[in-house]
Structures are given as C-alpha cells and as structure tokens.
A and B are shown apart, each in its own frame.
Chain A
C-alpha cells in the first residue's frame, strides 16, 4: 500500500467514454424527473398560497426567527422544503417569493449546508460516524453561516458605499 490514494480508484474498472456519457445522461435524466416532480407542484402551490392570507400569516409567525438572518418570515416555508426534501424544492418555493439578491444568497448558503437531512443523514451514518450528531452539526453550522454572511454582506455594503463616496469626492 505505497500509494493508497490511487489504488482505490484503480480497483474500480474504468468505463470507456461513450459509457461514461451514457451514465451521466442517465443520471441527469433521473435528476430531471425528480426536479420536475417536486418543483412544479411546489411552485404552483406557493404561487396560489400567495393569494390567500395563509402565507402572510405563516410569515408573521416566523418573522422573528427568519429576521435574525435577514430573511422574511415566508422564507421559513422554503427551509422546511429544503430540510425535508432538497434544494430544487426549496428553489421552487423561493422564486415565487421574489426575494432580494442578498436573501437568495443567504438561502443558498444556509440551505446548501442543511438540506435533504433525512436521506443524507442516513448516508452519513452508514459510513460509521453518528448521523444524528452530524445532522445537528449541519443545522448549527447553517445558522452560524447565516450570521456570518449577514455580517460580511453588511461590511461589504458599507465598504462599497464608502468607496463610491470617496470616488465621488476625488
């Protein structure tokens, strides 16, 4: 075992390029089906819910929590979709909500860390490490990342406005 990093890859027989393309396209096709199956109904549901008082009410309930991260309360619905399902589901909820670029970025960051918790928690625990601990870590890290981004974005904004003022004076 003088070269453990490469021997594991060598144990896998290498398929030829057409086979690889086919594997990739097949994987892409199944992912596409999954995307349509989840995203279209959710997108429609959120757009319709926006016409009712329900979404606004939900937003008010979660506004204090979501506000910590600079997000509107309605975004809580997107987080539920991300935690239980996946990023595509979350995106289908986010788009009809018409968030600002910062809010979209914030969602992308926090949900990127913590999504699909049920399935991925299962995978992480099969590697032998405790899946529950890591899932908890993901939720904590997601919150930490959200606070960090909010701070950094604020700094960036003030630095940018400071720079434009400076440029304006010269």
Chain B
C-alpha cells in the first residue's frame, strides 16, 4: 500500500513538473509566433534551407515542425504543404529533416528536467538532420 501511494505521488509530481514547462511554453509560442520578426526571418534562413535542398515555400511548415512538433503542428504543416503544392522531392526532404529534428524545445526541456544533457540532445539531432537531409538532397537531384 505504501508503495502504491508513494508511486502515485511520484507520478503526480513528475506530471506537475512537465506541466509547469509545457503550459508556459505553448502559451509563449502562441503569443510570439505571429510577430513580424518571424515573417522576416525567412530572408535569413533561406540560404541555410537551400543547403538542404529546400525552398522558401517549405519554411513555414519546416519551422513549425522544428519548434512545435509534428502532431501539434500538423494543421499548419498539412495546410501549407497543400496550398503551396510542394513537389514530392521537397516534401520528402522536409519530412526527413522533421523526422530527425522536431519539437526540439519541448522534447529537450522535459529531458533536462529529469537529468539529461540538453545541448548534447539538441546538437546531435540538429547536426544529424542537416547532414542527412543535405546528403539526400544531393542524391535525389531536382527534376
């Protein structure tokens, strides 16, 4: 009985920790994501995106996925991908990048809370995403 009670308490404490991170993070993101700064950021990231075979059309779904995650950002990712009529090659490259590197802020923070090394997780994921997508873009040439 003692074990049950203490584990219940442990589970609730863990949930509380995670919630304390997630709620402010999601709220902050909702408030900030419409700022004009992020619209103009397109110019800065364009050369970087070209390096991994992507054009500006993929910027919004890509960055939504990187910061928000695939499930939460699904609405935006699907809508923009269809509106823009992104070619299959670009959709695949974007998918590959996001598969490796998505929802980074939330994922990293919740593992830091339980004792993980944040920079190590972030660094390896971002590095691998850039290398893999860049390689794939060179293997699969644009039509």
Contacts and interface: CB of A to CB of B under 8 A. Distances in A.
A138 B94 CA distance: 13
Contact of B83 (A8, A133, A134, A152): A8
Contacts of A119: 71
14 contacts: A28-B26, A32-B15, A32-B22, A35-B19, A40-B8, A43-B10, A88-B15, A91-B18, A92-B11, A102-B117, A113-B101, A116-B70, A127-B94, A128-B88
Give the secondary structure class of B's interface.
helix
A149 B121 CA distance: 8
Nearest to A108: B111
Interface in A32-73: 32, 35-36, 39-44, 47-48, 51
B47 to A, nearest CB: 13
Contacts of A23: 30
A134 B22 contact: no
Interface of B: 3-4, 6-8, 10-12, 14-15, 18-19, 22-31, 34, 39-40, 42, 46, 56-57, 59-61, 70-72, 74, 77-78, 80-84, 86, 88, 91-92, 94-96, 98-101, 103-104, 107-108, 110-111, 114-117, 120-121, 124-125, 128, 132
Contacts of B116: 101, 104-105, 107-108
Residue among A28, A47, A94, A152 with max Cβ neighbours from chain B (10 Å): A28
Contacts of A148: 124, 128
A137 B30 contact: no
A21 B30 CA distance: 7
A28 B15 CA distance: 13
Contacts of B42: 5-6
Contacts of B88: 128-129
Contacts of A21: 27, 30-31
Given A94-B114, A101-B117, A27 B72 contact: yes
B39 A6 contact: yes
Interface string A103-114: 011011100110
Contacts of B34: 14-15, 20
B56 A129 contact: no
Contacts of A133: 92
A32 to B, nearest CB: 4
Contacts of B23: 25, 28-29, 31-32
A21 B121 CA distance: 29
A129 B10 contact: no
A82 B4 CA distance: 24
